[in-house]
Chain A
Amino acid sequence: MNFWVELLITILLLIGGVFVLVGSIGLCRLPDIYTRLHAPTKATTVGMGGILLASMLLMSTTQGYLSLHELLITLFLLITAPITAHMLAKTALHHENRVLRRTRSQHLMKTAREQQPPGSTDHE
């Protein structure tokens, strides 16, 4: 296999790995459930993208045919990641999960839980 192709695959794998790792670190480090949602939904999309691109390149060069089904995984990931995050955030809101003390605009949580426009119930 060509040296440059190998180098490119390695770089992509490294970038992907680093981002997935950062996503997991974020999951551990961030203080409350709402902030924790951010790390896996975002850091992981680029991480997985990098790994899948590397897989596409490797398979296409070694197997001799264009390997495209990794694109599907990316597509499914892009569709499911935001929906999962949304459902989790929604559930956390309805369970009145503890939120970081210094979170701004906490009065919005109440109206959000009741699915009312802001300022319609008690205002602060």
Chain B
Amino acid sequence: MSRSRWLPMPLHSLLLLVVWLLLNNTVSPGHLVLGTFLAFTIPLLCAPLQTPQPRVHRPLLALRYMLRVLGDIVVANIEVAVLVLGPMRKLQPGFVAIPLDIESELPITLLASTVSLTPGTVSAELSDDRRWLYVHALHLTDEQALIDTVKSRYEAPLKEIFAC
């Protein structure tokens, strides 16, 4: 985990280069040079602002997690669309507090974002001690089932990915 002085965030540098090339929609030499320059200088300027985050220990699992979330987004979209077009009287919204096992910021942020994007829920608030995530569900039938789904389907893999 040694960090070189001139390349403090290698992954971020690569990401910056890729994003630059995508933004310009080209791989011409000029943009390659400019993108590489930006990929070197921006991390140099931003490195002091970095806060320590847990590292990804299982990249393959992370990839699988992303694909699963993408699939779930499509399913959740159809579910929400049906609810939105259905009768409003039958809607049963509700708040749920989900107990969290993960503690660091990055995994919790990822979990909260996933929860917002996927199964008919929006994350609303996090308790001070980072032990509870408050969630608003559009159509709440079984609180315990929702908590179990979030914990087993999203939290468990995140826990494994970041090994925390």
CB contact list, B114-164 vs A, under 8 A = 114-117, 120, 122-129, 131-132, 134, 136, 138, 140, 143
* Chain B residues with CB below 8 A from A43, complex form: 77, 80-81, 84
Q: Find out whether the CB atom of B93 lies under 8 angstroms from the CB atom of A81.
A: no
* Chain B residues with CB below 8 A from A34, complex form: 93, 122, 124, 136
Q: Find out whether the CB atom of B125 lies under 8 angstroms from the CB atom of A38.
A: no
B45 located at the interface, meaning its Cβ lies under 8 Å from any Cβ of chain A in the complex: no
* Chain B residues with CB below 8 A from A29, complex form: 84, 88
A83 located at the interface, meaning its Cβ lies under 8 Å from any Cβ of chain B in the complex: yes
Q: Find out whether the CB atom of A115 lies under 8 angstroms from the CB atom of B122.
A: no
Interface residue tally for chain A (C-beta within 8 Å): 51
Smallest Cβ distance from A61 to chain B, in angstroms?
A: 15
Q: Find out whether the CB atom of A108 lies under 8 angstroms from the CB atom of B123.
A: no
Q: Find out whether the CB atom of A35 lies under 8 angstroms from the CB atom of B131.
A: no
* Chain B residues with CB below 8 A from A92, complex form: 124
B46 located at the interface, meaning its Cβ lies under 8 Å from any Cβ of chain A in the complex: no
Q: Find out whether the CB atom of A105 lies under 8 angstroms from the CB atom of B116.
A: no
* Chain B residues with CB below 8 A from A85, complex form: 116, 122-123
A64 located at the interface, meaning its Cβ lies under 8 Å from any Cβ of chain B in the complex: no
Q: Find out whether the CB atom of A38 lies under 8 angstroms from the CB atom of B80.
A: yes
* Chain B residues with CB below 8 A from A47, complex form: 77
B47 located at the interface, meaning its Cβ lies under 8 Å from any Cβ of chain A in the complex: no
- If A42-B73, A42-B80, A103-B94 touch, whether A89 touches B25 (CB-CB below 8 Å) is no
Q: Find out whether the CB atom of A82 lies under 8 angstroms from the CB atom of B132.
A: no
- Alpha-carbon distance A115/B129, docked complex (angstroms): 8
Pick the residue among A35, A37, A71 that contacts B22 (CB under 8 A).
Answer: A71
Q: Find out whether the CB atom of B128 lies under 8 angstroms from the CB atom of A116.
A: yes
CB contact list, A82-113 vs B, under 8 A = 82-83, 85-86, 89-90, 92-93, 100, 102-106, 108-109, 111-113
Residue of B nearest to A32 (CB): B93
Pick the residue among B85, B93, B125 that contacts A103 (CB under 8 A).
Answer: B93
Q: Find out whether the CB atom of A19 lies under 8 angstroms from the CB atom of B81.
A: yes
Q: Find out whether the CB atom of A35 lies under 8 angstroms from the CB atom of B81.
A: no
Q: Find out whether the CB atom of A115 lies under 8 angstroms from the CB atom of B120.
A: no
* Chain A residues with CB below 8 A from B131, complex form: 117
CB contact list, A48-96 vs B, under 8 A = 67-69, 71-72, 78-79, 81-83, 85-86, 89-90, 92-93
- If A78-B117, A86-B123 touch, whether A39 touches B128 (CB-CB below 8 Å) is no
21 pairs, A vs B, C-beta closer than 8 Å: A22-B81, A22-B84, A31-B91, A42-B77, A43-B80, A46-B78, A68-B22, A68-B25, A72-B23, A82-B112, A82-B114, A82-B122, A83-B113, A86-B113, A89-B122, A89-B123, A89-B125, A90-B124, A100-B93, A103-B93, A116-B127
